Structure 1
């Protein structure tokens, strides 16, 4: 199979941004954000799905609408199951409210059933994903505490429980979207030791998956040299295609009155890449070179996390204040930044 090299974007907030009146521009012209991205080299879009989120966005109904838009543009579609009503990440892998009373066997049934319902709905809409993440940044497990494997929970029994939950999701994907690839996504882009420990466990427990996903943010996960070491070692060890399915870098850290940024200090910068549009472009260019250089052609692509999360709402208080708007590929007013054009090189 000839694999399409993915140049992707996670635009999970776009639905909410547009509903609040946000818009996107290229050369002063208002355009569909998907058209802007596609015309600048993007060929894949990632969406997260939450079970029953406060506010409604990223639920099944809204995900179907966004998925149809993606497919109508002819773009590859990666669906990211969080299996939660809110963020699932290394610090938060909480059960959705409807599953709080369930234990392992019931949770496995719930994961399989929910995954099936979502994929069936997307199938009816003609918008099945091309790739599916069973869980988001699941290094410490998922659906805590039954599937938790960090700290004191790092036991053989807990890994058995955790992988059984993942297998339930994978089984549903294989049945309902057999053409889709299954991704397992962790958050250790610059950490070979933890990556090896995690995927060795998955091999030991016989988890069936196709591709590996990593998150890599240099202020959290090390240098680009650390990323290269990890990706190269991962390719040699497991022989599976690898995607850095989340990354970002700032185009400014200049303070803006009334706005807080998660990335706001000089000491957070990667050496050699200033917080400018040009510095962001240089980061993206060198980051892509590392992925393309992974042994045996197993560096298969990337997704930029929330390139379009512009500050379109005065109050982003529903669980996710927008502190990311200087890590986007659009400026605060929704104008495309020149750094996105690296994808056309």
Structure 2
């Protein structure tokens, strides 16, 4: 996910290693309610900045604890970490991600790494080449490979090896624009250069940490046609990867029924497990910092009759997502990662800006955990 402006602009708009370590056991792999989700986690990339701004978090019992420990105590087993190349001061660069990885490992959490391959926000509306990187295809092929390799080696070197890595963030429209831009303004589709860059990044990941699972992450949770179009081409161009990653925000990506149909179709069509790499839902339509939110009273929630924008409605939504994932055949609905559920008021999406998602969190505006945090439990 990205900033308010970029998200609103979007509204208009083979192979792979064995992944047995991610899948439930055969006895649990029926794909129904008795199975265990093997990935239950959250992207907590803003956490250090929020703490520096004075934010504190309380668990369901009201005890002040570090947020990653609150999630782990509820059953979470993964953290997702965003990495920008050269962001504004204080934001998620490599050093900050490495430090947060140490905290995550102490809490017993595995790591999904999310390099944006950009200096700041990268998503389907923009994928800017980092200012210090080459701007030609040969140079970028070398750079994305060596950058990814070295990044994973740095995590492993400090004793926090990465368990999964995304090759880019929400890469539905390509990466490293304009060289790897998938859809050009004149209608041209650059699948060759885009997939060459993906392959180079994947090669670097394999060199840096051979056991890390490769995730290709798009933002089409409930949109089967768009998902097929993307991964059909990925398969045609022979991009090797392990896991299909989806963002699922129902206000943009469809109903839970559409999500379920798409996940089941993807598993059958591509013989890959699926992961909801980003997920959130409002617990209120109020605005915690009074400076504007991306989701508000005019937002259409496809299943609002079942899950209103209340703490109880949010908790019910997370339970329903768990059920959708458990019903993916053969245990291949790996699980979910909530997106920045700790991002309560205190830090803007860019310096001086608002916290545009402060009503999509799993803590209230004061830092008190909400009932939806129970969704991380193991069974």
TM interval, short-chain normalised: over 0.9
Distance in 1 separating the partners of 2:280 and 2:226: 21
The gaps in structure 2 that reach 5 residues or longer are 1-19, 24-37
**Could you tell me whether the CA contact under 8 Å between 1:188 and 1:194 is conserved in 2?**
yes
Is 2:183 aligned against 1:164?
no
Q: Which residue of 2 aligns with 1:69?
A: 103
Secondary structure of the 1:42 match is: coil
Q: Distance in 1 between matches of 2:345 and 2:235?
A: 42
Which residue of 308, 322, 328 corresponds with 2:342? Answer: 308
3-state DSSP of counterpart to 1:77: strand
Please tell me whether residue 104 in structure 1 is matched to residue 137 in structure 2. Answer: yes
What's the offset of the Cα at 1:185? Answer: 0.3
Quick one: distance in 2 between partners of 1:322 and 1:58?
16
Provide, for residues 110-139 of structure 1, a one-character-per-residue CA deviation record: whole Å limited to 9, x for no partner.
Answer: 101111221121121111210000011001
Counterpart for residue 318 of structure 2: 284
After TM superposition, give the deviation of residue 28 of structure 1 in Å: 2.4
Question: Stretches of 4+ moved more than 3 A in 1?
Answer: 151-156
Report 1:9-88 matches (<5 A). Answer: 9-26=42-59, 27-88=61-122
Report if the CA contact (8 A) 1:216-1:247 is conserved.
Answer: yes
Give the equivalent residue in structure 2 for 1:120.
Answer: 153
Partners of 1:106 and 1:267 in 2: how far apart?
A: 43
Q: What's the offset of the Cα at 1:238?
A: 0.6
CA contact (8 A) 2:288 2:344 kept: no
Q: Which moved more, 1:116-125 or 1:167-176?
A: 116-125
Give SS of 2:114's match.
Answer: strand
Q: TM-score, normalised by structure 2?
A: 0.86
Measured at CA, do residues 53 and 80 of structure 1 come closer, stay the same or move farther in structure 2, by a change above 3 Å? same
Residues 161-200 of structure 1 correspond to what in structure 2 (within 5 A)? 161-200=193-232
Helix, strand or coil at the partner of 1:141: coil
CA shift for structure 1 position 21: 1.6
TM-score by length of 1: 0.95
Residue correspondence of structure 1 range 296-335 to structure 2 within 5 A: 296-313=330-347, 317-318=350-351, 321-335=354-368
Structure of greater relative contact order (alpha carbons < 8 Å, 6+ residues apart):
2
2:163 pairs, out of 95, 106, 130, with 130
CA contact (8 A) 2:151 2:208 kept: no
The reply on whether 1:201 has 2:241 as its aligned counterpart is no
Looking at secondary structure, tell me which structure has more helix per residue: 1
Unmatched 5+ stretches in structure 1: none
Counting matched residue pairs gives 342
SS at match of 2:191: helix
